[in-house]
Amino acid sequence: MKGNKALLQIHVAVFFFGIAGLFGKFLAVPALIIVLGRAFFASIAIWLGLRLFKQQTSLGSRANYLSLLGLGAILALHWWSFFYAIQVSTVAVGLVTFSTFPVFTALLEPLYFKERFTQRSIILALITFIGVVLVVPEYRWENNIFQGAVWGVLSGFTFSVLAILNRKYVRQYSSFVIAFYQDLGASIVLLPLLFFVDFQLSTTDFWLLVLLGVVFTALSHGMFINGLRTVNAATASILGSLEPVYGILGALLLLGEVPTLRTIAGGLIILSVSVVVSMKN
């Protein structure tokens, strides 16, 4: 029974992660404002959760504070490129191309840890590239799908960089503490940019940002981590690959976005490779 509850928690969390992409279409504000709102409200929700459960938030050294807050800049770039990809193209394109991140991780880890590349990683990277090629119908910047794919791949790349750099800290601090400081760091980095972005925030948009930050970020993060206490990493990786599936189905039902056959074919290739890489890691 305990295992079933953990599986359900991960399923719900992955569903929330997938649906979060739809906010790029729901919200009538620039992607930068979406990211600022998401990071700001998520940091508040996580901080309240840490205080409620009497979790330690001290990092012990000034260097760690600066490092985790600084990594918030990479998080901000990751989320911005993700939502921007969805805004300029479709939810399906943004989610599918973001799903390249496990392959980037497999390629970047040998560089970061000074290890040799494996033939397997190179082959999987080439297969993923074929998947991305299938998603894009026309290689011109004027084509919105091409733009979405570029920003989506950048989102996957930056997420991979963030995941690798975070490995140093997950051994020392809980993921909630890491998430709090990085969300806070993203908010601090983006706040000055408000003066350079033209936007109007309606009451509906405000509450959607609260919902995105609290439920679809902070709460889903907590549910996923809580589920990992019982569910093994391989199973969680397979469930995690359902994120774009949930997002694409959500876009179909709520936005009427029908993915093209090219997107479906490329997506199946990318997701298959992502599952293989994630299970190996």
Q: What is the mean pLDDT of residues 167-191?
A: 91
pLDDT of residue 235: 73
Confidence band for 118, pLDDT divided at 50, 70 and 90? confident
Candidate ranges 112-116, 203-207, 239-243; pick with highest mean pLDDT: 203-207
Q: Is the four-CA dihedral 259, 99, 42, 233 of positive or negative sign? A: positive
Instruction: Give the burial string for 211-235 (b: 16+ CB within 10 Å, else e).
Output: bbbbbbbbbbbbbbbebbeebeeeb
Pick from 14-18, 31-35, 110-114, 264-268: least confident: 110-114
Q: Is the pLDDT of residue 211 over 90?
A: yes
pLDDT of residue 166: 87
Confidence band for 71, pLDDT divided at 50, 70 and 90? very high
d(CA 35, CA 53): 27
pLDDT of residue 178: 92
pLDDT of residue 234: 66
191: Cβ contacts below 8 Å, ≥ 6 apart: 36
Q: Is the pLDDT of residue 229 over 70?
A: yes
Percent of the chain with pLDDT over 70: 96
Q: What is the mean pLDDT of residues 125-144?
A: 89
Q: 185 with 72: CB under 8 angstroms?
A: yes
Confidence band for 2, pLDDT divided at 50, 70 and 90? low
pLDDT of residue 232: 72
CA atoms within 13 A of residue 186's CA, in its CB half-sphere:
28
Burial of 253 (0-12, 13-18, 19+ CB in 10 A): exposed
Percent of the chain with pLDDT over 90: 57
Confidence band for 273, pLDDT divided at 50, 70 and 90? confident
Helix axes of 261-280 and 119-135: crossing angle, nearest 10 degrees? 160
Q: Is the pLDDT of residue 180 over 80?
A: yes
**Model pLDDT for residues 233-254, shown as the tens digit of each residue:** 667 777 778 889 899 999 999 9
d(CA 147, CA 88): 7
pLDDT of residue 113: 78
**Model pLDDT for residues 11-44, shown as the tens digit of each residue:** 899 899 999 999 999 999 999 999 999 999 999 9
Q: What is the mean pLDDT of residues 58-80?
A: 94
Q: What's the predicted TM-score (pTM) here?
A: 0.92
More confident residue, 149 or 236: 149
Mean pLDDT for all residues in the chain = 89
Confidence band for 4, pLDDT divided at 50, 70 and 90? confident
